[in-house]
Structure 1
Amino acid sequence: MLLYFLIIIPTLFIVFLLFSYWQEWKYRRKPYYKLADVGWRQTPLPSDNEKVYSLAMLGDVGAVATDGTDPVLNQFKKWQQQNEEAGIAVFLGDNLYPVGLPPEGHRHRLLAEKRLQTILDQLQHYNTRSVFLSGNHDWNKGRPDGYQYMLRQEKYITEALQNPESYQPPHGCPGPVTIQLAEGLLLVVINTQWWVQRGEKPLGSKYNCPYTDIEEFYIELNTLLRKNRHQHIIIAAHHPLYSNALHGGKFTIRQHLFPLTAAHKRFLIPLPILGSLYPFYRKFFGAYEDMSHKKYKRMRKRLLQIFHRYQNIVYVAGHDHNLQHFEKRGNHYLVSGSGSKTSFVKKGGSATFTLEQPGFVTLNYYSNGDIWLEIHIATPGTPETAPDEVIFRKKLQTITVPREQPA
């Protein structure tokens, strides 16, 4: 009996880990499609002449290459060229790694400024309409002094683009902020970092925020959605509400065996069984940036309670460094967080699509009331030589009710 426990059980456990690792290795960086969407390439797309407006949703671009070789920025450049007249680029937070825009003299300041200026120069070159959101890294990784980091980045971007509305919501307030993009198409921006931020965060007239109590935000958001149920609503935020990746509590077998790689990828010290404590903690209790953390969980629950009352919402976030799509109760939830980094995403579950590759999401709105999702992956090369590869396409919604004016 003792031999059974000392040899056979550990052997079976190791075999299970090896098999699981092999299964993960097979689909890493390969697209997963829900069975109903496997034949997506055969679905006819409306013609470009019918396109009314396009949104490029880029998340977590904070580590872009600054020498002109960045594959995501080069792919984004193609979108800019094709949508100069009626398009907007939405940057979904974590615009600068590792700690946002530090003060002058900080060791990360020069690189952060160079990365941010690379993006801003490209936007200005094509005169691309844009709006930036903030993420946890823009708030100095959520540390108590993060509010000043966010304000510094907001000031830099709005002054560089000469547009005070290019950073939303203003002053780090929770929002919601609305931008009417076209008839029947409304963009709503919310600052989800507010809920999980430690230390100072703005609320009330002292900070030029419209509310003194966060409950007023939820009332305003619900009122806004109710009055605009006649049109498509795109909600942009940093934190996802559904995710098959790290912040949703999903970890690789490698992360269970080598937990110290969370600190540095070269710390390949095997800690089987003991190493699972860290992933289990992140899954069930969570860091501030995880769905399982009590503050994040509370925010997510309240938002979903409101969103589930409607069926005209597309919610797009970054945070997890991959590409994902979920459909829940008639609404759509997207993760577009692989703007400059990639990380593991688990296939299956309730996801319609998942992929661990650099890229971004576009949402195209057509004159017949359709809104289509396209997921673009970035490949090495210049904008002239790299193919514009759409790895997934899906019609999300059609507005069929009369487009009456909101009350």
Structure 2
Amino acid sequence: MQKQRWMRGLRLAGAAALLAVAPGCGLRSFGLGSLVPGLGGADSVALNLVLIGDAGLPNPAGEPVLNALRDEIAKAPDRSFVVYLGDNIYPVGLEDTTTAEGKEGLRILRAQMAPLLETGTRGILVPGNHDWGNGIPEGLAHVRRQERFINLNGNGLVTMEPRNGCPGPVVVDVAGVVRLVTLDTQWWLHAGERPGRGSGCEPVTEAGIIDSVRTALASAGPLHTVVVAHHPFVSGGQHGGYFDWPTYLFPLHPWARLAGLFARQDVTGREYRNMTVQLSAAFAVDSPLVYAAGHEHSLQVFGRRPLVPARYHIVSGGGIYGHTTPTRRITGIRYIRQASGFQRITFLADGRARLSVVVVDSKGGAHEDFSMWLDDPRVKLLRAQADSAARAAAAVAPPVPALPTAPTTAPAPATVPVPTTTPTTTPTTTPASAPAPTTVPASMTTPATAPAPTPAAPRTEAPPAMPAPMMIVIPPDPAAPPRTTPPPTPMIVPATTTPAPAGAW
């Protein structure tokens, strides 16, 4: 009898635990919303912005998600731009490259850069918490080592932004279509050494960062604005406080994280909340169209929420096949799924923007699982004002005066006097109407034996600090067939890092 009561109690406890967490585990592959019609042949694509995160552990035998990414951007590399949203190397970023762990880190970075370098597509990698050593004291050295390797091996196509462990923002204007405002949000959360005053970073105070973000958003003009970082403001995953049922069998861990204890990387953590509250204030006036993050190993799309004054908030952290975590539907969700893949924003020449969620299977096959049109009233208003001003200017413009009529009869040529007697030994004279040839004095010519100019000595001092926000402008590419080699002119990025010592990353 006592054994039966014990078994009955165990069954009831198990059932209660499953009921308590059923909403979270039942939505592992749950997608809200639907597909909107695809783009027709008449639609003019100005830019495809691909957002992929948490890709720092690719399969050495070939990573399905990265293979799908290569296929995606190979369709139009000149009109594509890729952003890796952090956690580019698991578990602790790029270690000393003379060690086995460091060599594995280099393999991981090369695997992520390969789709871009092979197709000639531009892109950036944003740092995440694992790139900073996942909180270890020497994390700053790890993220700087990673940045140096990427920027030295990216062929002018691929860079890491922000650099040097700086918090940002770094502004990247792409193709005259979109303004990317890049942030290193781990700077706010890192407990160890981080760049401060005198580090070459500018700004390095929380107030300075917020002011720079405001400036970057306010000065965007008719460009769509997308803020890219690693940490989301809200999440229907573990960092948002939603766990699968086995986790609740050991309740101390999830309840401690929900209470903000030991939760520096969770939205409930004290440092994390300080960061999101301050950045929310920066977004309040000139809200970005999209705030894009990774951190959670899932695919999520949110509409506007009170805590996130961006029109849309996306989480795209499914960069490795099978490396996913449970999800749960929460307020504001438009789509959520525990799946691998990436998200794509297609910007059209007429100002429209279309978001797509692309899910990838184990063989690298990709399909569009969700899509929606993104409404950007700020850009609509600016375009309408520009069109109205152009029409008004055309209505009041004075008529173009007619050009003077050319004479029907050509004037007689000028008469050149000819001498009556020309000695046979005298060369033919130049007519008076012809200009005399210009003679270059010998003193102005460079003799063939002149020595080559002495090249300037290499710069050894640290470059000056860049004003905030630092800006990178990538001009639009003309219509051209997809290239198989990188363009001859690399993207020029103002240097903000200390040169790497010889033979080191």
> Is the pair's TM-score, using the shorter chain for normalization, greater than 0.5?
yes
> In structure 1, the residue corresponding to 2:77 is in which secondary structure?
coil
Cα distance in 2 for partners of 1:57, 1:145 equals 28
Corresponding residue number in structure 2 for 1:50: 44
Is the 8 Å Cα contact of residues 249 and 284 (structure 1) preserved in structure 2? no
Does residue 382 of structure 2 align to residue 389 of structure 1? Answer: no
Query: Residue 20 of structure 1: CA displacement?
Result: 4.5
Corresponding residue number in structure 2 for 1:262: none
Query: Residue 233 of structure 1: CA displacement?
Result: 0.5
Corresponding residue number in structure 1 for 2:170: 177
Cα distance in 1 for partners of 2:343, 2:327 equals 16
Q: Which amino acid aligns with 1:201?
A: R
Corresponding residue number in structure 2 for 1:270: none
1:199 to 192, 195, 202: 192
> In structure 2, the residue corresponding to 1:328 is in which secondary structure?
coil
Does residue 343 of structure 2 align to residue 368 of structure 1? Answer: no
Cα distance in 2 for partners of 1:89, 1:397 equals 22
Cα distance in 1 for partners of 2:356, 2:258 equals 30
Query: Residue 27 of structure 1: CA displacement?
Result: 3.3
Matches within 5 A, 1:7-46: 12-20=12-20, 24-28=24-28, 30-33=29-32, 37=33, 40-41=34-35, 43-46=36-39
Query: Residue 8 of structure 1: CA displacement?
Result: 8.6
Matches within 5 A, 1:8-157: 12-20=12-20, 24-28=24-28, 30-33=29-32, 37=33, 40-41=34-35, 43-47=36-40, 49-68=43-62, 70-157=63-150
Cα distance in 1 for partners of 2:14, 2:277 equals 38
1:280-313, Cα deviation, whole Å (9 max, x unpaired): 1111214221111111110011111222333442
**Distance of aligned partners of 1:278 and 1:208 in 2 relative to their CA distance in 1, 3 Å threshold:** same
Cα distance in 1 for partners of 2:268, 2:31 equals 25
Is the 8 Å Cα contact of residues 73 and 121 (structure 2) preserved in structure 1? yes
> In structure 2, the residue corresponding to 1:402 is in which secondary structure?
helix
Corresponding residue number in structure 2 for 1:344: 326
**Distance of aligned partners of 1:304 and 1:348 in 2 relative to their CA distance in 1, 3 Å threshold:** same
Query: Residue 184 of structure 1: CA displacement?
Result: 4.1
Corresponding residue number in structure 2 for 1:284: 259
Corresponding residue number in structure 2 for 1:332: 312
Cα distance in 1 for partners of 2:27, 2:164 equals 42
Cα distance in 1 for partners of 2:8, 2:362 equals 48
Corresponding residue number in structure 2 for 1:380: 362
1:244 to 236, 240, 265: 236
Q: Which amino acid aligns with 1:143?
A: I
Q: Which amino acid aligns with 1:349?
A: T
Query: Residue 138 of structure 1: CA displacement?
Result: 0.6
1:340-393, Cα deviation, whole Å (9 max, x unpaired): 1211111243211111111011111011211111111111225xxx3x300110
Identity %: 27
Is the 8 Å Cα contact of residues 25 and 326 (structure 2) preserved in structure 1? no
Q: Which amino acid aligns with 2:354?
A: W
Q: Which amino acid aligns with 1:351?
A: I
Corresponding residue number in structure 2 for 1:400: 380
Unaligned runs of 5+ in 1: 258-274
Is the 8 Å Cα contact of residues 117 and 157 (structure 2) preserved in structure 1? no
CA radius of gyration, larger in? 2
Query: Residue 189 of structure 1: CA displacement?
Result: 0.4
Structure number having the greater helix percentage: 1
**Distance of aligned partners of 1:218 and 1:291 in 2 relative to their CA distance in 1, 3 Å threshold:** same
Does residue 295 of structure 2 align to residue 300 of structure 1? Answer: no
Cα distance in 1 for partners of 2:39, 2:157 equals 35
> In structure 2, the residue corresponding to 1:300 is in which secondary structure?
helix
> In structure 2, the residue corresponding to 1:392 is in which secondary structure?
strand
Is the 8 Å Cα contact of residues 54 and 87 (structure 1) preserved in structure 2? yes
Matches within 5 A, 1:212-291: 212-228=204-220, 230-257=222-249, 275-285=250-260, 286-291=262-267
Cα distance in 1 for partners of 2:283, 2:168 equals 16
Number of corresponding residues: 371
> In structure 2, the residue corresponding to 1:250 is in which secondary structure?
coil
Query: Residue 25 of structure 1: CA displacement?
Result: 4.7
Q: Which amino acid aligns with 2:299?
A: L
**Distance of aligned partners of 1:312 and 1:8 in 2 relative to their CA distance in 1, 3 Å threshold:** same
Cα distance in 2 for partners of 1:77, 1:21 equals 38
> In structure 2, the residue corresponding to 1:400 is in which secondary structure?
helix
> In structure 1, the residue corresponding to 2:381 is in which secondary structure?
coil
> In structure 1, the residue corresponding to 2:213 is in which secondary structure?
helix
Corresponding residue number in structure 1 for 2:299: 323
Query: Residue 228 of structure 1: CA displacement?
Result: 2.4
Query: Residue 135 of structure 1: CA displacement?
Result: 0.6
Query: Residue 111 of structure 1: CA displacement?
Result: 1.8
**Distance of aligned partners of 1:95 and 1:211 in 2 relative to their CA distance in 1, 3 Å threshold:** same
Query: Residue 45 of structure 1: CA displacement?
Result: 3.5
Moved more, 17-26 or 367-376: 17-26
Cα distance in 2 for partners of 1:312, 1:60 equals 23
Corresponding residue number in structure 2 for 1:263: none
Corresponding residue number in structure 2 for 1:264: none
**Distance of aligned partners of 1:230 and 1:343 in 2 relative to their CA distance in 1, 3 Å threshold:** same
Cα distance in 1 for partners of 2:291, 2:48 equals 15
> In structure 1, the residue corresponding to 2:268 is in which secondary structure?
coil
Cα distance in 2 for partners of 1:139, 1:27 equals 31
> In structure 1, the residue corresponding to 2:375 is in which secondary structure?
strand
Cα distance in 2 for partners of 1:284, 1:361 equals 31
Moved more, 152-161 or 349-358: 349-358
The normalised TM-score by structure 2 is 0.69
Is the 8 Å Cα contact of residues 71 and 381 (structure 1) preserved in structure 2? yes
Query: Residue 331 of structure 1: CA displacement?
Result: 0.9
Is the 8 Å Cα contact of residues 307 and 313 (structure 1) preserved in structure 2? no
